[in-house]
Copies of this chain bind each other. A is one copy, B any other.
Amino acid sequence: MVVVMAPDATPEDVAAVVAKVESVGGEAFVSAGVRRTIIGLVGDIESFHHLNLRTLRGVADVHRISDPYKLVSRQHQADRSTVWVGPAEQQVPIGPGTFTLIAGPCAVESAQQTLEAARMAQAAGATLLRGGAFKPRTSPYAFQGLGVRGLEILADVRVATGLPVVTEVVDVRDVGVVAEHADMLQVGARNMGNVGLLQAVGDAGLPVLLKRGMTATVEEWLMAAEYIAQRGNLEVVLCERGIRTFETATRNTLDISAVAVVQASSHLPVIVDPSHAAGRKDLVVPLARAGIAVGADGLIVDVHPSPETALCDGPQALEGTELRELASAVRRIPPLLGRENAREHLRPAVVG
């Protein structure tokens, strides 16, 4: 940490800061400038936080220098991680070297609709199935999902297609039942700051897909991942899904740079959700291509057999031509970046 003194700070003010820092075992290096004095602190950052240095007389500012997250930081682990999802006999990788397409309906509406969507997803190259049983909605008057019945449908479709399932958990009390039916737990944008839920999915023993909060900085997003990691679960995949800005032509602004920023700061895999960012079907394929090209480790995309009857986010679900264009992009662009389709990398069953 660096403490910047105000221009009118006295030598006594500086001495007081130094004394405080030394009182918790830290070292303080004083650089007296022409107009200002700067004090560099060396020691245990957590203990410095409790000193409330910012409230001391003569202190103008306090800058933190190192990352506030540890377990998920690339400083902690330089090699980027691969997270494996699914049962032992068919694990799907998400990470460097491969490219993973996750697709399926925004919401599970019926067994037939989910199975059809899963078949479409699979045909387009998906190796993981997405589908919402519990839907967090802005309006209490909107469709809230089929709940446990939806989980059962997902589990059935997994058996029928062989696709491992990722689905969202929106309430800490549902973590157990969701974990029984799914292969990966999704924490949605709305719940990125829900500490109890983060800790519970951290304890659940399954990989986690952590979406970025609609207005979270990259640093806060990584701090949310740190909450999960603290419970001993480092199987976390991050998902960029658009941030809130003043632009109204799109539902959210896909922050494509965040993919590269995360990869520079954290060892965790990161994927892109072009469907929820855009909210408009005609933008999904271009944004998906951008997500692949920026270097994401995968995509998560809404597909639906008949978008015009979808109970949730129909306007952004792919089918027909657009879905074929997506499949083409997923097949052709990753190899240019040295990535193979995850389908080629399913982990063989561990022989007993």
Q: Which residues of A contact B (CB under 8 A)?
A: 2, 4, 7, 29-36, 38, 40-43, 46, 49-50, 52, 54-56, 61, 63, 65-66, 68-69, 75, 136-142, 170-173, 190-191, 193-196, 214-215, 217-220, 223, 226-227, 230, 243-250, 253-261, 264, 277-278, 281-283, 286-287, 289-295, 307-311, 314-315, 329, 332-333, 336-337
Contact = CB atoms under 8 A, between A and B. Distances in A.
Given A65-B36, A282-B264, A46 B141 contact: yes
A328 B302 CA distance: 32
A77 to B, nearest CB: 13
B314 A55 contact: yes
B287 A257 contact: yes
A336 B243 CA distance: 29
Contacts of A245: 243, 245-246, 253, 255
Given A171-B172, A293-B290, A138 B223 contact: yes
Contact of A195 (B136, B286, B308): B136
Given A55-B315, A227-B140, A246-B244, A196 B217 contact: no
A222 to B, nearest CB: 10
Contact of A277 (B214, B257, B277): B257
B194 A190 contact: yes
A62 to B, nearest CB: 9
A36 B230 CA distance: 24
Given A173-B172, A282-B264, A315-B55, A243 B253 contact: yes
Main secondary structure of the interface of A (DSSP, over half): mixed
A193 B190 CA distance: 6
B226 A249 contact: no
B254 A258 contact: no
16 contacts: A2-B63, A29-B30, A55-B314, A56-B308, A138-B193, A140-B223, A172-B172, A215-B215, A215-B246, A217-B248, A286-B294, A287-B294, A289-B295, A290-B293, A293-B329, A329-B336
Contacts of A140: 195, 223, 226-227, 230
